[in-house]
Chain A
């Protein structure tokens, strides 16, 4: 597949041809540091090759881009883009779907917990 080999240059072209108001020229290595740890965690060498990391980053950005475009297509029918559009896209992929619902519920719990904490702190403040 010739795509990844031309991935480096084509990505910057795609970035500038996107009809986006923000000037996000695709910088190299946006996710590089995180990706290195992640790849090690998933089975790569403790120090992955830089070209491998760059390639994985390109692939991930392309993946996210395609997903976002598809989600936008779905969301445009409803009005605006929402989380559910992404969830709909991965509905067939069970591990991802479960993981996402888990993440969302944890985030809800955290929000509740923070709210509860703030209430407690107020009470403490008034007591003092």
Chain B
């Protein structure tokens, strides 16, 4: 157990130098060091490394913050902590040191994956300037995920076959999450067009879904559903 802290703290110190204003850095890491072995199966699932998505969500993050109560960020973090607890860094030396490394929620202090220092630096710069609201929303964005077990059950019931491999579940969860993102973003666009505010209502979602259908992003049913 002690070993896990060392490379991590080394990385943490390395982190502390860069964005001084990043609010989540240390607290996040310290609160996450308790190992959660039962979530290990979710390890691969919750790797929220998306350099590509950074660009996509850019404009979204800059949205004016919604009036959220102070209690909700905590609600998100605690319930999400229970839900998801794994995030891996790609620095290879840390992989070999401790498996618990992977169970620690590294979230925002590390941006592994392509290990592209330019992208990482850009991301750090952006993140350091986030308001608390934006940070909590970004945290929700990174950590949220559909449960793999539920997805697997759904896939089994759809295909009728028990042999749903793990990569397939992971892929479908990822695709579904991005689809939700498309829906919600389009619904927000619809709302601004109609000059409405507040929580998203079903009518916005339906309009967004209709537009996505027109764009061809929703697979069409080959069989007509006659009796709905």
Contact = CB atoms under 8 A, between A and B. Distances in A.
Interface SS, A side: helix
B180 interface: yes
A60 B96 contact: no
Q: What interface size band does chain A fall in?
A: 35 or more
Contacts of A100: 171, 174-175
Contact of B181 (A42, A47, A68): A42
Q: What interface size band does chain B fall in?
A: 35 or more
A19 B163 CA distance: 16
Interface SS, B side: helix
Question: 8 closest Cβ contacts across the A-B interface?
Answer: A41-B141, A41-B140, A24-B157, A113-B95, A107-B44, A45-B199, A37-B144, A42-B184
B114 to A, nearest CB: 9
Interface of A: 1-4, 6, 10, 15, 18-22, 24, 30-31, 33-35, 37-49, 51-52, 55-56, 59-61, 63-70, 72, 80-83, 86-87, 89-90, 93, 95-96, 98-100, 102-104, 106-107, 109-114, 116-117, 120
A107 B170 contact: yes
Interface of B: 43-44, 47, 49-50, 52-53, 56, 60, 63, 66, 68-69, 72, 76, 79-80, 83, 88, 90, 95-96, 98-99, 102, 113, 137-147, 150-151, 153-161, 163-168, 170-172, 174-181, 183-185, 187-188, 198-202, 205-206, 209-210, 217-221, 225, 228
